Amino acid sequence: MGNCREEFVRRNTDEKLDEFGGVGKPMGRSPHLTAYQEMEVTMNRIGKLVSDRVFRARFSYNLAVLCLGLAIWGFPGTCSGDELLVGNFFGPGHENILEYNATTGAFIGTFGPVISFPLGGVFGPDGNFYATNSDNDTVLKLNGSTGAVINSTFGSAEDAAGLVFGPTGNLFVVGSTAPGLLSVLNGTTGALITTVDAGGIMNDPEGVTRGPDGNIYVADAGGNDVLKFNGTTGAFMGTFVAPGSGGLIGSRGVAFGPDGNLYVTSFNTNQVLRYDGTTGAFLGVFASATGGCSGLSLPRDLTFGPDGNLFVGSFGSGDIFEYNGSTGACITDFIPAGTGDLGGPTFLAFGEEATTTPVPEPASITLVASALAGLAALKRRLFAAR
């Protein structure tokens, strides 16, 4: 963020100086000075070179604009990124969504109502959270901050499992049947738009993700492959990862990494496999049950966190393991089994997709107020001089 602010000051300082006949161009900059020090030196030089009252007023006016721009950088972003929601399923009384701190893994509490089989969950573009209940074929809409139920039957999809929003705002819901289905719902109303069966080749599909190309990728567990669908229409586009490629058996979870490649959980071999994000070609085993992650068993869902690391839900052991997002090396048992009653993680969803109302920091408010007051005063000075 600091580099962005310095670049903002440098760019705008040069632009403002250019307005006064290029006064700032020949002065140069020392590589040992920060952008703020450079601006102070430039101001001192200009003060010695120019004494015209109108010029000083105009320069001060533009400097106030820069201060206002810098203050805007002090406002926090609209992404929370401070929570990890986990679907939990391992028997009666253990069927819910659990909330954890995204940085420490500490248990925060139960999120939303009891859901008998929470097989998929995703934050929507509206900041709310959408979860599937595979037992009753429904999609629930929950308040993204509190978990309160907004609509217990937002949409319907047979054996609803993984779900993801497409590039046009429609909601794609996987039906983990045999043969499997992909339902496309209106992202605002939940109304069914279309259902795609991919020619009947899907067999117990579950995980789903949106790719960098805007298309939809589905993990087909029974077919041991990954299928590709059009991100706008839902039309089947073909098999992206060939059946059994790289030893893939039981493809349950899919996620594109920061490197643009596709990562898939191999449920039956306790591995995460990596594939070329453009061609689907096998690149190698990325993560496995080694070191502090030796307990990895029946990996189901996976996702990359705000820090770029990979988090994998170990359905067999009840843990959530963290791996280095670049090397695949085990980092830690991020959420040990039993934490907050976790026993069977089905899906993982970080809160970075949830939008929140930004609240300005006190320092930013003070700086903005000062800049605005200065702007008003300098405008009066400028017009008086004319």
| CATH number (domain holding residue 300) | 2.130.10.10
pLDDT tens sequence for the chain (386 residues): 444 444 443 444 444 444 444 444 444 444 455 555 555 555 565 555 444 555 455 555 555 544 444 444 443 333 346 899 999 999 888 999 999 999 999 999 999 999 999 999 999 999 999 999 999 999 999 999 999 999 999 999 999 999 999 999 999 999 999 999 999 999 999 999 999 999 999 999 999 999 999 999 999 999 999 999 999 999 999 999 999 999 999 999 999 999 999 999 999 999 999 999 999 999 999 999 999 999 999 999 999 999 999 999 999 999 999 999 999 999 999 999 999 999 999 999 999 533 333 334 344 445 445 555 655 665 555 545 55
Instruction: Return d(Cα 236, Cα 228) in angstroms, integer.
Output: 6
Distance CA 137, CA 157 (A): 5
Q: Are residues 288 and 156 in the same domain?
A: yes
CA distance 268 to 107: 29
Same domain assignment for residues 192 and 298? yes
Separation CA 66–CA 17 (nearest Å): 12
**Backbone Cα Rg of the chain:** 27
Domain total of the chain? 2
Residue 210 has what pLDDT? 98
For 51, other C-beta atoms within 10 Å of its C-beta total 8
Residues 145 and 12 in one domain: no
63 and 117, same domain (yes or no):
no
49 and 69, same domain (yes or no): yes
Among candidates 250, 284, 281, which has minimal Cα distance to 265?
A: 250
Distance between CA atoms of residues 255 and 171, nearest Å: 17
CA distance between the termini of the chain? 39
Q: Say whether both 128 and 277 belong to one domain.
A: yes
Do 136 and 37 have their domain in common? no
The b/e string for 276-309 (b: 16+ C-beta within 10 A; e otherwise) is ebeebebbeebbbbeeebebbebbbbbbbbeeeb
Q: 141 lies in which domain range?
A: 83-353
166 and 257, same domain (yes or no): yes
**Token duo for residue 350:** 């970080």
Tell me, yes or no, whether 54 and 87 share the same domain: no
Q: Is residue 102 domain-shared with residue 235, that is, in the same domain?
A: yes
Q: Which H/E stretch holds residue 40?
A: helix 35-49
Cα four-point dihedral sign 338, 341, 346, 347: negative
At residue 1, the pLDDT reads 45
Q: Quick: pLDDT tens for 34-62.
A: 555 555 555 565 555 444 555 455 555 55
For residue 95, the model assigns a pLDDT of 96
Query: pLDDT tens-digit profile of 134-173?
Result: 999 999 999 999 999 999 999 999 999 999 999 999 999 9
Looking at beta carbons, which pairs linking 95-103 to residues 24 or more positions away fall under 8 Å? Answer: 97/121, 97/131, 97/147, 98/340, 98/341, 98/342, 99/147, 100/335, 100/339, 100/340, 102/305, 102/306, 102/350, 102/351, 102/352
Regarding whether 120 and 249 lie in a shared domain, the answer is yes
**pLDDT score recorded for residue 386:** 53
Tokens 């959408």 belong to: 130
Contact by Cβ (8 Å): 229, 218: yes
Q: What is the pLDDT of residue 325?
A: 98
Contact criterion met (CB below 8 Å) for 169 and 125: yes
Q: How many CB atoms lie under 10 A from the CB of residue 200?
A: 10
228/178 same-domain check: yes
